[in-house]
Amino acid sequence: MAFLEFNGISKNYPGVQALSNIIFPVVRGAVHGLMGENGAGKSTLIRILSGDQSADAGTITIDGQEQHYHSVRDAFQAGVTVIHQELQLVPELTVAENLWLGRFPAKAGVINGKTLIETVRAKLREIGIDVDPAAKVSSLSIGARQMVEIAKAVMVDARVIALDEPTSSLSSRESEILFSLIERLKSNGTVILYVSHRLDEIFRLCDSLTVLRDGKLAAHHPDIKKVTREQIIAEMVGREISNIWGWRERPLGAVRLEVKNLSGRKLPTPINFSVRKGEILGFFGLIGAGRSEMARLLFGADHRHQGKVAIDGITVAPNNPKAAIYAGMVLCPEDRKLDGIIQGRSIQENITISSRRHYSPFGILSPRKEAALADQFIARLRVRTPSRRQDIINLSGGNQQKVILGRWLSEQGVKVLVVDEPTRGIDVGAKSEIYEILYDLAAGGMAIVVISSELPEVMGISDRIIVMCGGKVAADVARANFNEHQILTAALPDKNAAGTF
């Protein structure tokens, strides 16, 4: 018997039908997968479940009772907890304060801070999460923050938990902790709605699956054992995708980017590498290996201790992102919400903000040229939106990522593109499109650095891979020698000198 039911859920935004008559059940104690391309309606459905949005039509039933939410608090009191892909933590509060926010245990109106921390410490230890409860959230890595969000859901004994791309920022060890927690919650009768683009996780964890496409129900599978990967992909994108990576060989030119003895506070050991014209250089490593720190030093977003970065033989001024951009290097950051999108601004502004100087003769911006530029990249990257004037915060995570990529592709004279987790939270169809864009840019002579925690992705699209471990280069691997086992071994701690294979 169904414990959670979506009964004809529909939602319309100006210019777009986000959801249309969504109907499917989830039984008690099941992990139910929810898949679909970016813009398919998954996030909207989750927002309605969480009480953050109201449906225009249809109802949600939990344990036989029809729910009528007016706020997130109403959904929370009904036993629903949602862990969003974009985390909902307060950075300047401690881990313990975030976990108890809104329900602090108090005696005679007084909160005992020491007792609060020790209570949280014991609970985190019980569920296997290694995070200091006294630490400010702002000091934690993205992966650690994700674990704090997961701990919040576990601590309130929710009846329904929705997880939106929960492993996108987690290490393999943290992911295993999450999977163990999900199994425990499942055995206790909790309903888990698991939103992910990672088919390996869907098949490992889920009992059943629903696929959305263009706001409609594309498929519902009560038994995931009776469906294939190829079938799911076809249901998601409406077409067959035989080779998601689509790598193709291309001629490489002279060295375009050269990095010598680059180091900083978070990357104390100097690293050296170069990228040739037309080359896609992949950086792989476990969380904490120093990949994103390297990118920020390279771009000038973090302060260098030493090192030289040169593009086409010309040295780029250090510690100055503006100088890097003017020299022809751009960065798509790992944390799109914090460092990428400009919240409260339109899609058009987010695309054109960096390149406006090219469309402002005598300091006067040309609205016509700016609008045409935004429309060009909205179409090129298949950003799903009713209008370029739409606030970027209303887009799905994957569409936000496309806008950030469009921002830098709209720059004139880009010679080096650095992309950190370029397809994090992006569906399989959009991934293949982004890879095609990267290949086309490389074929035009651009040097591309791709940083990813997904080894299949790095191996699938790179001409060469640099493996990092503990802030150092552990291996430099030519494509002809790609070997998953060897690359993973090089990424593990306690390895010796860097090597080439």
Could you report the per-residue pLDDT of 289-337, keeping only the tens digit for each?
A: 899 899 999 999 999 999 999 999 999 999 999 999 999 999 988 766 6
- Please state, in angstroms and rounded to a whole number, the distance separating the CA atoms of residues 296 and 418: 10
- Please state, in angstroms and rounded to a whole number, the distance separating the CA atoms of residues 29 and 192: 8
Poorest-pLDDT segment among 189-198, 237-246, 433-442, 492-501: 492-501
Which residue is listed with tokens 């002579």?
A: 445
Could you report the per-residue pLDDT of 151-206, keeping only the tens digit for each?
A: 887 777 789 999 988 887 777 778 888 898 899 889 989 999 999 888 889 999 99
Instruction: Give the CA distances from residue 371 to residues 161, 355, 366, 389, 391, in Å, rounded to whole numbers and listed in that order.
Output: 41, 12, 9, 9, 15
pTM over 0.75: no
Q: Are 383 and 433 in contact (CB under 8 A)?
A: no
- Please state, in angstroms and rounded to a whole number, the distance separating the CA atoms of residues 325 and 328: 5
- Please state, in angstroms and rounded to a whole number, the distance separating the CA atoms of residues 244 and 274: 27
What value does the CA radius of gyration of the chain take, rounded to a whole number of Å? 23
3-state secondary structure of 229: helix
- Residue 331: name the closest of 450, 431, 200 by CA: 450
Instruction: Give the CA distances from residue 388 to residues 76, 89, 326, 372, 405, in Å, rounded to whole numbers and listed in that order.
Output: 34, 29, 26, 10, 15
Provide the token pair at 391: 């606030």
Could you report the per-residue pLDDT of 352-384, keeping only the tens digit for each?
A: 887 777 667 667 777 888 888 889 888 888 788
Could you report the per-residue pLDDT of 92-119, keeping only the tens digit for each?
A: 888 888 887 766 555 544 455 677 788 8
Give me the pLDDT at residue 108, please. Answer: 43
Could you report the per-residue pLDDT of 25-61, keeping only the tens digit for each?
A: 999 999 999 998 767 889 899 999 999 999 999 999 9
DSSP, res 102: T
Give me the pLDDT at residue 13, please. Answer: 79
What domains, with CATH codes, occur in the chain? Answer: 2-237 (3.40.50.300), 253-328+415-501 (3.40.50.300), 343-412 (no CATH)
